[in-house]
Each structure stands twice: as structure tokens, then as C-alpha cells.
Amino acid sequence: MRKKIVAANWKMHKIVAEARSYIQSLLVELGDETDVDVVLVPPFTLLQLCSEMVGESPAVKIGAQNMHPAMSGAFTGEISPQMLRDLFVRYVVVGHSERRALFGESDHFVGEKVRAAHEASLRPILCVGEKLEERAADRVHEVIDRQLAGGLEGIGPKEMQETIIAYEPVWAIGTGHNATPSQAQDVHSHIRAVIARLFDQATADRVRIQYGGSVKPDNAAELLRQPDIDGALVGGASLDPRSFAAIVKAARDAKA
């Protein structure tokens, strides 16, 4: 059985004092939860603080929201995989739709980041998802296939099993309109079939696929009960530790 994984993408929110009090509350809320992998994904400025505060907590690990694929070099303003490892970061989100749309990241560049993450022993959370007009034009599978082919290019089955896919329909992100459980399940099972085609069935069966897009405490349980939904990538509702913890508890209790 795949262990559920729930991640909190804080995006460009929170400063030191806010992060400190959030983590204090979250660690109390979660206790020694170990049935679910919980990942906090703060902005770069808070990675060190968050790493220090979660310390050896079995419950919570730290992820970054982005990185450059080069290990070092003349890339002003960028952060390398090696720098993330240095701060005890374990996961890195790549190809978030905001980075694709606002910063022009291509599938090819996203694939470079996935490979670089594995080289540095970071687990990439590769985001894929269609825009509203692409869904309306019945192009969901075509878009997902293209993003997976580019994002997963050049990795082997072992790396694939350590990669997390986040299905995030762009129209559901930050809008309050989540995909219905059956819409999400349909795409998740398609993603798993694509991974089986690109790698093999045993690998596909091991890969964890998160759903992201307006997940909240009151819709999480139903989404997380779907057989191919193995966790959630949460934006807005992760900014409050109680609401994020409620989603983690829904993941723990979800039985397909």
C-alpha cells in the first residue's frame, strides 16, 4: 500500500515569527503522526528555520518550492539542489503551474530539475495539470502526457519511484473550485497508466500521486478516498496549522 503524502505549499507567504508559531502549533496538532508523510514547503527565506524547528521530528519533513538545476554557478538569484541539501531539505516542488505560467518554465527545463533533484538525493514533486480551456477542448490527457514525458525524461524506474507527481488542474488552484473526486481519480489513473507505459507496472504501482487544487478540510476526505489519490498538495488551506493538520488527519483516515 502506498503511504499518503500531504504537503503544505506556503507560496510567498509568512515571515519568521509567523513560521515559528505555525510550526509550534502544527507539531502539537500532529503529535507523533507517522502514518502520513507530511511535508512543509515554505519560501526559501524560512527553510533554515523550519528545518531547525522540525529537527528530527518523525512527522514533518521540509521541501522547497523551486530550485535551479545547476549545482552552482553564475545564476544570480537562484538556489541550487546542493544548497537545499545543505539545509536538510528532502523534497522540492518542480513545474508548479505558477512557475510555468508566470516564469515561462518549459517541460524540458522542468525535466532538468527533476534529474538534478535526484542527483542531489532530493525527492521531486512534479506538478502537472491542464488549464480550463484545455479541459474544455478535451485535451486533458494530451497536456498531461506532454508534461509527464518532458518532466520524466532521462530518469530510470528507481528515480521514478522516488518521484511524487502532483496533479493540479490549473483551474482549481486558488479558486475554491476543486476537481470532483471522480474527475481527479480519472486523471490520476491516467497518470499511473502513462507511468506504466514509460517505465513498468510495478513502478507505476509504487508512485505516489497527489491531488492539488482547492483542497480543504471539508473536501479532503472524499478526494483522498479515491484509489489513485495518494495525498494532497495544499496551498491556501495549508496556511493555518489547524486546517492543514485536519487535512493530514483526513489522509490518515482515508481508506479507498
Residues annotated as catalytic (active site), given as ranges: 96, 168
User: Is the CB of 196 or the CB of 246 nearer to ligand PEP?
Assistant: 246
- 151 sits near ligand PEP (criterion: CB under 6 A): no
Q: How far is the CB of 213 from ligand PEP (least distance, A)?
A: 5
Contact status: 173 vs ligand PEP (CB under 6 A): yes
Establish if 180 lies at the interface with ligand PEP (CB under 6 A).
no
Figure out which of the listed residues 51, 147, 210, 214 binds ligand PEP, where binding follows CB under 6 A. 214
The strand ranges marked E within the chain are 5-9, 37-41, 60-64, 91-94, 123-128, 164-167, 209-212, 231-234
Output 91 or 199, the one with its CB closest to ligand PEP. Answer: 91
Quick check: 169 binds ligand PEP (CB under 6 A)? no
Quote the least distance from Cβ 88 to ligand PEP, whole Å: 22
Q: How far is the CB of 211 from ligand PEP (least distance, A)?
A: 9
- For 110-137, give the DSSP string: HHHHHHHHHHTT-EEEEEE---HHHHHT
Inter-CA distances, 15 with 77, 85, 213, Å: 19, 22, 24
CB-based contact 65:79 (threshold 8 Å)? no
Distance CA 149, CA 179 (A): 23
Half-sphere exposure of 136 (CA within 13 A, CB side): 5
Contact range with ligand PEP by CB under 6 A, out of 71-79, 80-88, 132-140, 207-215: 207-215
Query: Which positions lie near ligand PEP, rule CB under 6 A?
Result: 9, 168, 173-174, 212-215, 233-237
